[in-house]
Chain A
Amino acid sequence: MTPGARLVQVDGLVKHFPGARALLGLGRARRPVRAVDGVSFAIESGQTLGLVGESGCGKSTVGRSILRLIEPDAGRVTLDGVEVLALGPRELRALRRRMQIVFQDPYGSLNPRMTVYQTLAEPLAIHRLAAGPEVERRVRSLLEEVGLDPAFARAYPHELSGGQRQRVGIARALSVEPQFLVLDEPVSALDVSVQAQVLNLLAELQRKRRLTYLFIAHDLAVVKHIADHVAVMYLGKIVERASAAALYGAPRHPYTTSLLSAVPVPDPTAQRQRIVLQGDVPSPAAPPPGCPFHPRCPHPKKNDRCRTEPPALREVAPGQLAACHFAEEPM
């Protein structure tokens, strides 16, 4: 595949979770939660898209829907031209060789009853990639590749530290030699010093294996380190999407601006104008009419149009899209 070609493409992805239902699903369903509400983006081969947002904005649901760990309700996902959402169970399992996921919680994402060896050997067995002594060799080289001593193969997850577990999680994802990785908050449960180690490892693996990443995170500073492009989500929708340089340098959506200004910077002398957003994120079961951000929006020009007309995600500068009526006049 030529570099720069679109490896992953997502169009109009929608996922609504039904409200709780009564006996046998016969009762009246409660209002559905619109976790993902029409999300579109593309990732070029070998690049990283950072998907950023606060808890409950739907960013993890997007990642899992692409892999069909969650079945989306509508939309299109293609991986290297293959329609992911149209695949039957057998083809889907075969496709999972090419896309993998690394989870946030290094404690919950490893089976506590399986050794590291068993965890890493399982995908090889499922896809019949190796057998006999070859399995052992592959597990060894995977562990070395993620910076772990091969002796860890015999260890159980509870004998490892958080950073070591996360390395095992990465090794498991790499074991089937995928092209595309969904990284779902891979460093947010780790300590600062370990977080840096894992981020470096991810960057190095991307270079060596020419991987394509969807990096899901709530931490804008972490994303800045690894992403080529960034998409910011709010209440199930992408509100801004741009190259990292544009998004961090000249954000167009007031939510992005506020988010950036809210991140604490480890510099006591920094003179920053901090925008403190008022109120809480509304429930995705009952998003506000018009622009979903309008109740909290600090933009000075906010008016009735924001309360009634939902802004479309549109190109405001070359390669920079924002869903705001006043994107041309950023704060």
Chain B
Amino acid sequence: MADKQTKIEIAVGFFMIVGLASISYIAIQLGDLQVLGQKSYIINARFTSSSGLRSGAFIEAAGVRVGTVDSIVFDPEEYQSIVYLAIDEDVPIHEDAVASIRTAGIIGDKFIKITPGGGEYLQPGEEIFETEPSINLEELISKYIFETEK
């Protein structure tokens, strides 16, 4: 009797441990759960087109992830798209840095690439003025053709 009960408890305990391990693996590794609570600051950038970019997309500088896209808003006056960028707190962005929307590989997700500039660092809430919009379809196709010819 007691034996049977203990066996059940051990099995359930084992199940729970395996389950918790899997959940934490998914949450931390796949979901990028910030266990240590990575802080970030917000700057914005205006694009003539942010086609294909979604909130949550990555921001890379020199190929390293330095933040994510916080939100994308349409500006009806200028007919532009304002993208709010959440940049990791310890990463300074120069005031004349260039933000360009790029595509990972041929059919991959859009991300924002930051090319460094010089001068002052941007304060939270300020704007990156130099931007390059999404690469359009023709460019994408030419890139594809170019790569296959090689």
A and B bound?
no
